[in-house]
Amino acid sequence: MTSDVLISPSFILIFGAFLLPVVSGWARSALVLVLPLLTLGAIWQVGDGVQMTAQFLDYQLELVDGSNLSRLFATIFAIMAFAGGLFALNQKHVIELSAAFAYAGSAIGVALAGDIITVFMYWELMAVGSTMVVWSGRTPQAGRAAMRYALVHLFGGVVLLVGVIAYIQDTGSIDFTLMGAHSFATWMILIGFLINTGAPPLSAWLPDAYPEASWSGSVFLSAFTTKTAVYVLLVGFAGEQILIWIGVYMIFYGIVYALLENDMRRILSYSIINQVGFMVVGAGIGTEMAINGAASHAFTHIIYKALLLMSAGSVVYMTDGKRKCTDLGGLFQSMPLTAIAGIIGALAISSFPWTSGFVSKSMTNQAAYDTDMMVVWFCLIAASAGVFLHAGIKFPWFVFFQKDSGLRPKDPPWNMKAAMVLFSVLCIWIGIQPGPLYALLPYPTDYQPYTSAHVYEMLQLLLYAGLAFFVLLPMMKRKLTITLDFDWFYRKLAVDSAASLAQTTSKFLAGCVWIRDNVVNAVIDMASHHHNPKGVLARTTPAGVMVFWVVVVLFAYLVLYLFV
């Protein structure tokens, strides 16, 4: 192993994760807060180019390979680990924190990986860490959801591994660089990556698993898996046209399913797919503006989505697990800080001017506009309004306002409030001062989000989307329903088919038993009836009877002879 950096930033969190269970009390809290900060420091020490290598079989792995894009993603992952850790300080189950830190460290490992084998190894480690986080929800539902989650991600991992092996076979290189979907190998890699973005048809793993995690677990989950997938798409498949349409599908899928949803954390999960859709479109457009847009959107999205899930997590924490819109409402009266944090997150996700979403997502829209992609642009504009509709208003309205549920939970403990305040401030600060974020982007940019035309356009779009929400409120009324998705095939059809196959088999076996009991036994009974020692065909008759019959026959013969 050769290294120009002291330590790979990902190692700090991954190995630190194993330290958490062996300490307790304030030492654990200190470790939870210090490890991400150390990681952040280490990330900022990573220069451009390959910084750390290691020998594996015949290959030289590039464990740390710095660039603007990789540092941007690694930075936000470390910030997220810090705020998530702060929010989760009162989490009693340390295994969740350990898993979350290993998961975050692996995500940073993917962002800094220079070769495709390293990407794959960290990719699989992420799947293990995130499955453990889902499982840490510690309910029967969470256990089953974790199993389904693991199956989808292990499947994705196998597809990716097939692609990686075929790619190395084809090219002889393990470099992770722009590859484009031109061969079987690169298609497999692309599909493996897309499964983690929540792309169709396997989107359902995300809203299935994330809401089942604990109040703190879903905050971690929202950040890493989908955004590392966006990162690898930006590196390996920028400019791949098909991504534009996959992204547009994801955007509207997220909106429509979120509109029908009743569980507040599932609403936010669908909205992750919606937001990642914007980033996938950016990767598909592939211009410098689009890649800057997707990268900055990923950065700001992690902050405001985590903020929204912290707000939702605080409600879950303070109401002993209530998460359905039909059970909530009116909470703003007793948990004002949580409500305000939720509203700030909701405004940011909707790209409201002076929030972080406005200065990031609009770059992707601008990229579509600049490249004359009219249909895509109209879709993105409609979707920007739709984001306000399904997440921007729907989440705060149904949780904190609407009809009064009579629940009066207090705001959560100080550390959870501190995490929400930190991310609320970041949402607004980046929105007002986008300069520092723009300086971190992969390409230099002089993009000006705050032109009066742009601000007025966005205000019109969002406020009229708000009008549509309140005008259509009777249609938005929540019921105790879920909406079927592709997971129906493996949760219902496959299960029912297996059950009916089992039933058919057992009926067949029961039929066999019936045949044994009735037909075969009847044959045996009949045979034994005739052939048993006293049966008509097997019994012995006395010699006297024989003589009697001989006499009868002879007598009959005599009569015939004499008289006929």
CA distance linking residue 328 with residue 322, whole number of Å: 7
Residues in the chain: 564
293 vs 386 by CB, closer to another protein: 386
Among 3, 45, 67, 405, binds another protein (CB under 8 A): 405
479 vs 534 by CB, closer to another protein: 479
Measured in whole angstroms, how far is the alpha carbon of residue 3 from the centre of its chain? 34
**Closest among 247, 241, 274, 244 to 259, alpha carbons compared:** 274
Q: How far is the CB of 406 from another protein (least distance, A)?
A: 4
Residues within window 364-403 making contact with another protein, judged by CB under 8 A: 369, 372, 374, 377-378, 381-382, 385-386, 389, 401
256 vs 440 by CB, closer to another protein: 256
Report how far apart, in Å, the C-alpha atoms of 429 and of each of 261, 294, 361, 437, 556 are. Answer: 31, 19, 16, 10, 129
Q: How far is the CB of 83 from another protein (least distance, A)?
A: 29
Tokens of 213: 């995690």
Stretch that binds another protein, among 19-27, 99-107, 255-263, 290-298 (CB under 8 A): 255-263
Tokens of 105: 């460290």
Q: Is 147 in the site for another protein (CB under 8 A)?
A: no
| Total residues binding another protein (CB under 8 A) | 57
Q: How far is the CB of 480 from another protein (least distance, A)?
A: 5
61 vs 367 by CB, closer to another protein: 367
Q: Is 409 exposed, middle or buried (0-12, 13-18, 19+ CB in 10 A)?
A: middle
62 vs 485 by CB, closer to another protein: 485
Q: How far is the CB of 524 from another protein (least distance, A)?
A: 46
SS3 state of residue 62: strand
Q: Is 374 exposed, middle or buried (0-12, 13-18, 19+ CB in 10 A)?
A: exposed
Q: How far is the CB of 309 from another protein (least distance, A)?
A: 20
18 vs 456 by CB, closer to another protein: 456
| Per-residue DSSP letter, 409 | P
SS3 state of residue 263: strand
Measured in whole angstroms, how far is the alpha carbon of residue 264 from the centre of its chain? 16
Q: Are strands 2-3 and 59-66 parallel, antiparallel or unpaired?
A: unpaired
Residue with tokens 């309140």, as numbered in its chain: 470
Q: Are strands 49-56 and 59-66 parallel, antiparallel or unpaired?
A: antiparallel
DSSP string, 319-360: TTS--BGGG---GGGT-HHHHHHHHHHHHHHTT-TTSHHHHH
Beta-carbon-side half-sphere exposure of residue 522 (alpha carbons within 13 Å) = 4
Q: Is 151 in the site for another protein (CB under 8 A)?
A: no
Q: How far is the CB of 357 from another protein (least distance, A)?
A: 16
Q: Is the dihedral of CA 265, 269, 271, 276 positive or negative?
A: positive
453 vs 537 by CB, closer to another protein: 453
Q: Is 331 in the site for another protein (CB under 8 A)?
A: no
Stretch that binds another protein, among 89-97, 171-179, 473-481, 534-542 (CB under 8 A): 473-481
173 vs 481 by CB, closer to another protein: 481
Residues within window 478-507 making contact with another protein, judged by CB under 8 A: 479-485, 491-492
Among 1, 57, 475, 564, binds another protein (CB under 8 A): 475
Q: Is 421 in the site for another protein (CB under 8 A)?
A: no
Q: Is 553 in the site for another protein (CB under 8 A)?
A: no
Report how far apart, in Å, the C-alpha atoms of 387 and of each of 4, 270, 289, 291, 351 are. Answer: 44, 11, 22, 21, 9
Q: How far is the CB of 502 from another protein (least distance, A)?
A: 17
Q: How far is the CB of 250 from another protein (least distance, A)?
A: 15
Q: How far is the CB of 454 from another protein (least distance, A)?
A: 9
Q: Is 560 in the site for another protein (CB under 8 A)?
A: no
Q: How far is the CB of 133 from another protein (least distance, A)?
A: 21
Q: Is 263 in the site for another protein (CB under 8 A)?
A: yes
Report how far apart, in Å, the C-alpha atoms of 88 and of each of 67, 92, 127, 337, 395 are. Answer: 31, 9, 21, 17, 22
| Residue pair 465/247 in contact by the 8 Å Cβ criterion | no
Stretch that binds another protein, among 216-224, 258-266, 423-431, 512-520 (CB under 8 A): 258-266
Among 166, 191, 337, 468, binds another protein (CB under 8 A): 468
Tokens of 172: 């002889």
Stretch that binds another protein, among 156-164, 176-184, 249-257, 548-556 (CB under 8 A): 249-257
Tokens of 20: 């958490």
Among 28, 337, 457, 489, binds another protein (CB under 8 A): 457
Q: How far is the CB of 507 from another protein (least distance, A)?
A: 22
Tokens of 26: 């304030």
Residue 116 amino acid letter: I
Among 158, 178, 467, 547, binds another protein (CB under 8 A): 467
Q: How far is the CB of 386 from another protein (least distance, A)?
A: 5
Strand order across the beta sheet in which 2-3 lies: 2-3, 49-56, 59-66
Q: Is 333 in the site for another protein (CB under 8 A)?
A: yes
Q: What are phi and psi of 446, to 5 degrees?
A: -120, 30
- Contacts with another protein by CB under 8 A lie at 252, 255-257, 259-260, 262-263, 324, 330, 332-333, 369, 372, 374, 377-378, 381-382, 385-386, 389, 401, 404-406, 408, 452-453, 456-472, 475-476, 479-485, 491-492
